[in-house]
Amino acid sequence: MSTEQPRVSGLEVRSIDYVPLRERHGKLWHLGPLWFMSNAQIATLAVGLISITSGGNLIWSLISIVLGTALGTFFMAFHSAQGPQLGLPQMIQSRPQFGYVGALLVWLFAYVQYAGFNVFNTILAGQAMSRTAHGGVKWWVAGVTVLALVVALVGYDVIHRAEQVLTYVFLAVFGVFTVGVLVTLHYPAGSFDLGGFKWTPFLAQFGVVAGYQISWAIYVSDYSRYLPPGVTVRRTFYWTYFGSALGGAWLMVLGSLLAAWAGKDFDTIASIDAAGDKVFDGFGAVVLIFSALGLVSVTALNMYGGSLTLISAADSIRKIRPTVSARLLTLALTAVLSLAGALAATSHFLENFNNFLLLVLYLFIPWTAVNLMDYYVVRRGHYAIAEIFKPHGIYGRWGWRGITAYLVGFGAMVPFFSVGTLFTGPAAKALDGADISLFIGLPVSGLLYWWLARTIDVAAETELAEAEAASLEPAETG
């Protein structure tokens, strides 16, 4: 698991295995631009449309976006601090709560999220490039997928560097674009009337924004696990929180503004192009081309996370060595599945993306509650890392406490679900379609897990973790 491995042609060598202290590197501020740019891409625009398209006015849509971002990012950012302390990617950390095999439950859901978002991301990028540089959308989709695969294959360091460069360019391009949207576009009467408040679209917007930010929780330790363990939880939280919150809120607000301006004629690519050209002729194309690059970067993040998830899942079924070959194989498989989904997708898929978004986000609300409760309250960051990779280790094959808390929390949310025309639970119907499931799933799963975990012998686990710590580090050679 922790055997020293040489770098191969600059490619990242490690995947789900522990990152030894001698390989820790990077600076804490790198998390800021990474999470800013991961969120600051035009797929995030879709998250800001819910209130406007369901009858809310603009000002309350913007308020719900800001509040939802503030809450959802809070949970997501706390996961980031787990990376430097444990030296592990995010989803493998589910084994102490769900078990060596039981964690497959959440890994399946995680992989569905990675694949679903990549289908949407690559289609948007293909449409953006087709509109500006011409050529068939499907050819551009294939090109974006291949480029993202290369970035993901090189791995952790190049992803961080790419997001830093893109952040600087984004601030220039989207800074001008945002000013143009605020100054040149005209909005319907009553858009900024605080008296036009409606509970249902407000809560729908708030819930999907908060859930969207929480959905990043399955990524965060993947991109902080190479940092030295000496970085503080507080500073790791701050860099992740403000990077992700600013990037997400910026694009969601833009989405809401564009939807209010365009009305029933709103189309992500066409509306961005038209709004950009109001700044100066041809600027819409500049915005779209840069947006396509941003979508390449977030597609690479999804491939990278999908690869780690597949390796974790395979390792739970049959012990495997996390080699470069395993990375390449799982990345290629993830890219192929993403490409196949994008090429087969229809306009019907795109129209129902918000429903997909809601369904996927529901799946991770109870997971984040269980994972954070375990890390910060129950075990307080003390894990026997070597045991995480043992099929019959102290964490067991099935973590009944985590699985029970997850299923009960998810079940408690179901009556409060409101997924467009697909499903509206009885509690949501009583609230005129307002979705408050987030506020049910988080406390139910978190508190139930805390109650069930009272029987865990944390002291014995901590003692074992300290005893095994030295074995994680490669022996010095010289």
Predicted pLDDT of residue 10: 65
Least confident of 30-39, 77-86, 169-178, 355-364: 355-364
**Cα–Cα distance measured from residue 339 to residue 143, given in angstroms and rounded to the nearest whole number:** 10
DSSP 381-431: T---HHHHT-TTSTT-SS-HHHHHHHHHHHHHHGGG-EETTTEE-HHHHHT
Residues 6+ apart with CB under 8 A from 38: 163, 216, 219, 244, 247, 297, 298, 301
Instruction: Give the model's pLDDT for residue 438.
Output: 87
In the chain the first and final C-alpha atoms are separated, in Å, by: 22
Q: What is the pLDDT of residue 180?
A: 93
Q: Are strands 418-419 and 423-424 parallel, antiparallel or unpaired?
A: antiparallel
| Confidence (pLDDT) at 357 | 67
Mean pLDDT of 390-416: 94
Tokens encoding 259: 């939807």
Query: What is the pTM assigned to this prediction?
Result: 0.91
Strand partners, 418: 424
**Sequence-separated contacts (24+) of 374-380 with Cβ below 8 Å:** 374/96, 374/97, 374/402, 374/449, 374/453, 375/82, 375/93, 376/78, 377/450, 378/449, 378/450, 378/453, 378/456, 378/458, 379/96, 379/456, 379/458, 379/461, 379/462, 380/458
Going from the N-terminus, what domains does the chain have, and what CATH number goes with each? 21-472 (1.10.4160.10)
Q: What is the average pLDDT score of the chain?
A: 89
Query: Which two tokens mark 18?
Result: 């522990």
pLDDT at 476: 57
- What is the phi-psi region of residue 187: left when phi exceeds 0, alpha when psi lies from -120 to 50, beta otherwise? beta
Closest CA to 269 of 280, 255, 281: 255
User: Which pLDDT belongs to residue 140?
Assistant: 95
User: Where does the pLDDT of residue 37 fall: very low under 50, low under 70, confident under 90, or very high at 90 and above?
Assistant: very high
Q: Distance between CA 185 and CA 196 in Å, rounded?
A: 21
Mean pLDDT of 403-429: 89
Spatial separation of the C-alpha atoms in residues 307 and 331, rounded to whole Å = 5
Proportion of the chain above pLDDT 90, given as a percent: 59
What span, in angstroms and rounded, lies between the C-alpha atoms of 50 and 137? 26
Round to whole Å and give the CA distance between 349 and 185: 29
At 478, is the pLDDT very low, low, confident or very high (cuts 50, 70, 90)? Answer: very low
Q: Do residues 113 and 359 touch, judged by C-beta distance below 8 A? A: no
Confidence (pLDDT) at 475 = 64
- Between the CA of residue 357 and those of 44, 127, 140, 401, 455, what are the distances in Å? 11, 20, 24, 27, 36
347 band by pLDDT with thresholds 50, 70 and 90: low
Alpha helices (H) along 99-218: 104-133, 137-154, 156-184, 199-215
Residue 360 pLDDT > 80: no
**Cβ atoms within 10 A of the Cβ of 316, count?**
20
Query: Which 3 state secondary structure label does DSSP give 279?
Result: coil
pLDDT of residue 53: 84
Locate 325 and state its tokens: 């070959």
